[in-house]
């Protein structure tokens, strides 16, 4: 019985070491595979209990395999903006390109830690192996809706329309103009000052707001008051707002806005220092500055000076490139010098990454052993930041694997020697009969 158990233990040892050899060979073969996670074989003893205390039966060994998905390989820099990796814990959601032809969503989702994504003929970001990057689409103005974080149903294939023109209408304008203090004293000429500021409409057209500042000239003293009228070229030159601006003449806040009173148009918001102006294509937040602060309209000295005028918006633009920031926001960069968020790429996390089911092409799927998933913003919670222009290398340490290969070879040879010795002992036993 004990000799037979030695044979069985030797065979179990051969099988276990052959299993370990398979994981080592797989690790070495994938030492240059981006995103590959090293597999490991552990040995566990098997004990056979016997009623006879004087004899011992060898139980042998059993092997268990585990892929160490939570181990991270080093990140390397690339020249492609949509080569993505995660600097820390977490996974990128992807789907198979074949699912795009047969489904409109929700799509089957797999997880990867890195990928080289490039637009295909339809602008879909995918890898050479057909993995399509998934994300939440942004609204046309770059804002994001609120999506549930415990389901992947709202994820869409990330698509970049490289040949599409986009408009960038003006939504904010800051008016920093100095009005001459001498214009509101008794005996002044009362001549108005005109200012034209360009803005861009919803269709990328160039329009203008025409401002006229007319001083209030008193009979005596100084009024420190002006009437500002606003005309919109897109509305046929119609007056879209008229306001009375009063300036502070005190020593502490001299020359700053004291009050803004609407004669026509929307009311002035003293908290933000803005007036919502309704132009033909929508609305523009016109910032005049807060009351008592020299950060907008002023009345100083005797010169009319548009000292600080700024606005957003631009003419019609075309896409030049895309980039991903550390929070997972995918931005389109246009030739007119502005950027706009077009997608958000969430980072998926599970309680037990090593419990994920490993599939081809370094992809993983959620399983009962991994626990439920949750979609985080990159860098939030336990997840790492999303890094563009980067890929994650294999987690295989070739030197360590070769060392284990030598140990495995010696262990396999030793187990073979055990079988050979047990065979010789059985042969000696059979020779007793002769």
Q: Which long-range contacts (CB under 8 A, 24 or more apart) does 230-236 make?
A: 230/265, 230/277, 230/286, 232/207, 232/279, 232/280, 233/207, 233/208, 233/209, 234/201, 234/205, 234/207, 234/279, 234/280, 234/281, 235/279, 235/280
d(CA 346, CA 150): 12
Q: Is the separation of the CB atoms in 247 and 298 below 8 Å?
A: yes
d(CA 190, CA 424): 122
How buried is 123 (Cβ within 10 angstroms: 0-12 exposed, 13-18 middle, 19+ buried)?
A: middle
Please report, in tens digits, the pLDDT of each residue of the chain (434 residues total): 578 788 888 888 999 999 999 999 999 999 999 999 999 999 998 887 756 566 777 878 889 999 999 999 999 999 999 999 999 999 999 999 988 877 666 899 999 999 999 999 999 999 999 999 999 999 988 899 999 999 999 999 999 987 778 888 999 999 999 999 999 999 999 999 999 999 998 888 899 999 999 999 999 999 999 999 999 999 999 999 999 999 999 998 999 999 999 999 999 999 999 999 999 878 999 999 999 998 899 999 889 999 999 999 888 888 899 999 999 999 999 888 888 999 999 999 999 999 999 999 999 999 999 999 999 999 999 999 999 999 999 999 999 999 999 999 999 999 899 888 888 888 888 888 66
Domain boundaries, the chain: 2-71+395-431, 81-164+322-392, 170-312
d(CA 342, CA 334): 12
> Model pTM?
0.77
The residues that bridge with 132 in the sheet, in sequence order, are: 95, 126
**List of residues 6+ apart from 284 with CB closer than 8 A:** 170, 171, 172, 173, 199, 209, 276, 277
d(CA 113, CA 94): 10
Sign of CA dihedral 76, 77, 82, 86: positive
How buried is 140 (Cβ within 10 angstroms: 0-12 exposed, 13-18 middle, 19+ buried)?
A: exposed
Q: Which CATH class is domain 170-312?
A: mainly beta
**List of residues 6+ apart from 231 with CB closer than 8 A:** 209, 210, 212, 237, 238, 239, 240
Q: What is the pLDDT of residue 292?
A: 93
**C-alpha R_g of the chain:** 37
- Residue 431 burial (CB count, 10 A): 8
Token look-up 């990867």 returns: 112
Q: What is the pLDDT of residue 116?
A: 97
- Residue 61 burial (CB count, 10 A): 18
The pair of three-digit structure tokens given for residue 242, joined into one six-digit string: 């008229």
Q: What is the pLDDT of residue 431?
A: 84
Dihedral over alpha carbons 363, 369, 372, 378 (to 10 degrees): -40
Q: Is the separation of the CB atoms in 160 and 123 below 8 Å?
A: yes
Q: What is the pLDDT of residue 1?
A: 58
**316-353: buried (b, 16+ CB within 10 Å) or exposed (e) per residue?**
ebebeebebbeebbbbbbbebeeebbbbbbbbbbbeeb
Q: Is the separation of the CB atoms in 299 and 185 below 8 Å?
A: no
Q: What is the pLDDT of residue 53?
A: 66
């Amino acid at each position: 019985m004990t000799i037979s158990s030695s044979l069985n233990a030797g065979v179990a040892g051969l099988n276990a070491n052959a299993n370990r050899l398979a994981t080592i060979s797989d690790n070495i073969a994938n030492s240059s595979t981006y995103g590959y996670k090293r597999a490991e074989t552990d040995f566990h003893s098997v004990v056979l209990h016997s009623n006879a205390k004087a004899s011992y039966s060898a139980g042998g060994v059993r092997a268990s395999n585990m892929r160490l998905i939570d181990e991270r390989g080093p990140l390397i820099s690339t020249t492609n903006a949509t080569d993505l990796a995660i600097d820390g814990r977490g996974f990128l959601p992807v789907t198979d390109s074949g699912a795009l032809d047969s489904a409109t969503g929700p799509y089957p989702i797999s997880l990867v830690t890195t990928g080289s994504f490039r637009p295909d003929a339809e602008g879909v970001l995918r890898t050479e192996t057909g993995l399509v990057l998934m994300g939440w689409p942004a609204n046309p103005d770059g804002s994001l809706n609120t999506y549930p974080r415990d389901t992947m149903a709202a994820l869409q294939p990330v698509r970049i329309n490289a040949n599409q023109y986009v408009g960038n209408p003006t939504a904010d304008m800051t008016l920093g103009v100095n009005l001459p203090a001498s214009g509101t004293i008794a005996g002044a000429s009362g001549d108005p000052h005109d200012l034209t500021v360009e803005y861009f409409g919803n269709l990328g057209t160039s329009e203008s707001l025409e401002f006229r500042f007319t001083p209030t000239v008193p009979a005596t003293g100084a009024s420190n008051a002006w009437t500002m009228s606003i005309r919109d070229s897109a509305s046929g030159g119609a007056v879209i707002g008229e306001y009375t601006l009063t300036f502070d003449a005190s020593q502490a806040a001299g020359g700053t806005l004291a009050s803004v009173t609407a004669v026509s148009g929307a009311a002035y918001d003293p908290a933000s220092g803005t007036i919502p102006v309704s132009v033909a294509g929508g609305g523009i937040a016109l910032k005049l500055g807060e009351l008592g602060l020299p950060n907008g309209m002023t009345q100083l000295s005797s010169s009319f000076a548009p000292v600080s005028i700024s606005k957003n918006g631009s003419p019609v633009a075309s896409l030049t490139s895309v980039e991903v920031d550390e929070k997972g926001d995918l931005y389109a960069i246009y030739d007119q010098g502005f950027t706009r968020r077009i997608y958000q790429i969430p980072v998926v996390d599970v309680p037990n990454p090593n419990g994920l089911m490993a599939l081809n092409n370094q992809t993983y799927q959620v399983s009962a052993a991994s626990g439920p998933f949750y979609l985080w913003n990159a860098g939030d919670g336990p997840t790492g930041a999303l890094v563009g222009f980067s890929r994650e290398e294999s987690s295989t340490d070739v030197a360590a694997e070769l060392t284990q290969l030598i140990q495995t070879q010696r262990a396999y040879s030793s187990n073979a020697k055990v079988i050979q010795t047990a065979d010789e002992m059985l042969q000696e036993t059979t020779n007793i009969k002769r």
